[in-house]
Homo-oligomer: A and B are copies of this chain.
Amino acid sequence: VRCAVPILFTLVVIILNPDITLSQDNNMLLSSRAEQLVQTALRDQKGYFWLKELCAIGPRLSGSQNSLQAIAWAEKTMRHSGWDRVWLQQVMVPNWKRGLREQAMISRSSFFLKKQLAIAALGGSVGTSAAGICASVIEVKSLAEIDSLKEKAKGKIIFLNRSFDRSKFNPNDSYGGAVDQRTRGAARAGRVGAVAVLVRSVTSKYDNAPHTGVMYYEENGTRIPAATVGQIDADFLSSALLQEPNLELTLRLSCKINPDTISYNVIGEIAGSEFPEEIIVVGGHFDSWDLGCGAHDDGGGCIQAMEVLDLFRRLAIKPKRTIRCVLFMDEEQHQTGAERYIAWCDSAGQKHLAAMESDRGVLTPRGFNVDADSLVLIKIQSWQKILEPTGIDWIRAGGSGADVGKIKGAKALLGYVPDSQRYYDFHHSANDVFEAVHPRELELGTAAMAMLVFLLSEEGL
């Protein structure tokens, strides 16, 4: 009967805090509101068509021309939706650019000569000379193994080939268990005198699409070029090295780190009718990687945030509190957009009740993560039943997201959590296109987010 203890505790909390429960009548009203949001989102599929327009612009790498076009599109679309206020917030962002030259070829070998590997430069990498870097290759499985190479690494290309562990239930854990190779591999290999790194793509799908993503050099560390290689070619290279350990690879990258450039967060809001100074942020990040078009990561999340406010307008819902949609620039590299937004809020005395992020793909809804104190968590959890018609099966303590997680003053930071099983198939690769998004999955997520935003706006925290 040990399980009786948490139930008793919950019971005591509920009885002692009548405020945190809702009356049955109110519950029925709220449930019909949830159903209305689901029906409207699924019927109109407005966000899905918005996402199609957005993806037609192309990928939205921070600092790129496309990203500015997309910003203009978002501003225009928000204005057209008829909110109370829409504005751009200027922010300096990194301006790394992939080059046209991007090649890894086996250039010395008895068996595999001229074999091309499917690669993509990692975000933030320096390029090579036009002639490229020609070197033999050492395969490793960890950063520690790089350290232990010492002298042997000198002049070599280090090939980081630890797998995405597909046996884990949560692909986020598998990703977390492999991604250090991508983010830190070049810095660590640079320390021991390697000339470049190739990193096995961090993805759950066994195909040959390179999955890019950010990498970081150490301050004052040696900066060596870094690229990722598709899983099929990573396996090819690994077995080729077994057969012929001295084969040489030529790596050519014309990517370039340009000076930081001007970009914008896109912000729009519907003012609260009773407590306009209590702000509820709903957002995602508007930049993407430059392969695919960032449909799941995070175009879809931004569209969901925009459609939350659009649903309020379509259904003539007047929120008691201010609902603000924030599309953050530059989440993928340095989160300068989120930092800029926070700095402005602090200086302008903006007060957040809650902030919600959608940045885990736009797959079928599962739950919400809540980063808040226990009483706030219990209050939000008491709404779970009302959210069920939108596909939300649980509300748990957990992290919100890279951007809204920085809004420390809010009473609750919320992360929308869709099913994650397919997410890394698309993530940071040419697989992340509009066609990979299912309209029902996108729209149900929108309805779930809209309903939780509505509850926050009506009930407060």
Contacts and interface: CB of A to CB of B under 8 A. Distances in A.
A393 B2 CA distance: 21
Nearest to A424: B440
A393 B391 contact: no
Given A364-B419, A421-B441, A168 B4 contact: no
Interface in A362-401: 364, 366-367, 382, 389-391, 393-394
Q: Which of A3, A42, A169, A171 has the most B CB atoms < 10 Å from its CB? A: A169
A42 B438 contact: no
A1 B24 contact: no
A375 to B, nearest CB: 16
Interface in A421-458: 421-422, 438, 440-441, 444
A174 to B, nearest CB: 9
Interface in A305-356: none
A304 interface: no
A366 B365 CA distance: 11
A422 B443 CA distance: 13
Interface in A1-45: 1-4, 7-8, 10-11, 14-15, 18, 21, 23-24, 35, 38-40, 42-43, 45
Contacts of A422: 364, 438, 440-441
A169 B42 contact: yes
A263 interface: no
A457 to B, nearest CB: 22
Contact of A15 (B1, B393, B419, B440): B1
Contact of A166 (B2, B42, B169): B42
A4 B9 CA distance: 12
A113 to B, nearest CB: 34
A167 interface: yes
B4 A15 contact: yes
Nearest to A10: B7
Contacts of A231: none
Interface string A183-211: 00000000000000000000010000000
A163 B448 CA distance: 25
B38 A169 contact: yes
Contacts of A438: 421-422
Contact of A14 (B3, B10, B419): B3
Contact of A366 (B18, B168, B393, B441): B393
A167 B39 contact: yes
A7 B5 CA distance: 12
Contacts of A168: 39, 42
B7 A11 contact: yes
Contact of A444 (B2, B38, B169): B169
A440 B39 contact: no
A169 B389 contact: yes
Given A7-B14, A42-B167, 8 more contacts: A1-B18, A1-B21, A3-B14, A7-B10, A39-B168, A43-B166, A367-B393, A393-B393
28 contacts: A1-B21, A2-B21, A2-B23, A3-B14, A3-B382, A4-B14, A7-B10, A7-B11, A38-B167, A39-B167, A42-B168, A43-B167, A166-B440, A169-B389, A169-B390, A169-B444, A204-B440, A364-B364, A364-B419, A393-B393, A393-B394, A419-B419, A421-B438, A421-B440, A421-B444, A422-B438, A422-B440, A422-B441
Interface of A: 1-4, 7-8, 10-11, 14-15, 18, 21, 23-24, 35, 38-40, 42-43, 45, 166-169, 171, 204, 364, 366-367, 382, 389-391, 393-394, 419, 421-422, 438, 440-441, 444
